[in-house]
Amino acid sequence: MLGYYYDRFFIECKHHEKGVPPEKLNSKIAWADAEKPDHLVFMVSSYLTEKSRIWLEKIRSDKPYKIHVLEEAQLKRLISQHEDIIKKFFRKNDKVTLLNDTKKNWLIHGIVPSFTTLTFLFENLDIDSLPTSDLVFLYILLF
């Protein structure tokens, strides 16, 4: 047996519509310099600006830790390999979608849902997790 191997990771997530500039990364670099992890990972919902890329390349060799960057395209590729994650976090619940469509049809178009639809919703929705507004809607339709 080789024994245990420990690496300490610091992970920073950046949610930006456009490119992430160096000034948004700088404080995390300073934090990693102080704490000395083995790895600093930037997870970026968009992409790094060219200035950020150049700056990170210049400082990488001076750091005792490895700097990793995962941008939108890479994150999508990694997540797409895990159906369970997609299903849990990215796909809308079909039952909740039906409930929302039923509410919209009733409120906007005056279409009252069928007994079959209501029965399906009551039997399949997790009532305890629904917001109060959805519970009130279902209660009104029931009576």
What is the second-level CATH architecture of the domain 9-89? Answer: 2-Layer Sandwich (3.30)
Assess whether pLDDT exceeds 70 at residue 133: yes
List the domain boundaries for the chain.
Answer: 9-89, 92-142
Residues sharing a CB contact under 8 Å with residue 85, sequence separation 6 or more, in sequence order: 79
Q: Is the pTM of this model over 0.85?
A: no
Helices (H) and strands (E) in the chain, counts: 7, 3
Residue with tokens 């797409």: 80
| pLDDT score recorded for residue 29 | 97
More confident residue, 63 or 119: 63
pLDDT 10s digits, 2-59: 788 899 999 999 999 999 999 999 999 999 999 999 999 999 999 999 999 999 999 9
| pLDDT score recorded for residue 100 | 87
More confident residue, 38 or 130: 38
| pLDDT score recorded for residue 24 | 96
6 three-state secondary structure: coil
User: Average pLDDT of 113-128?
Assistant: 86
Assess whether pLDDT exceeds 70 at residue 1: no
CA angle 94, 125, 95 (to 5 degrees): 10
pLDDT 10s digits, 65-110: 999 999 999 998 898 888 777 766 666 667 888 888 899 988 888 8
* CA–CA dist 83, 86 (Å, integer): 5
Instruction: Let me know if 46 is exposed, middle or buried by CB neighbors in 10 A (0-12, 13-18, 19+).
Output: middle
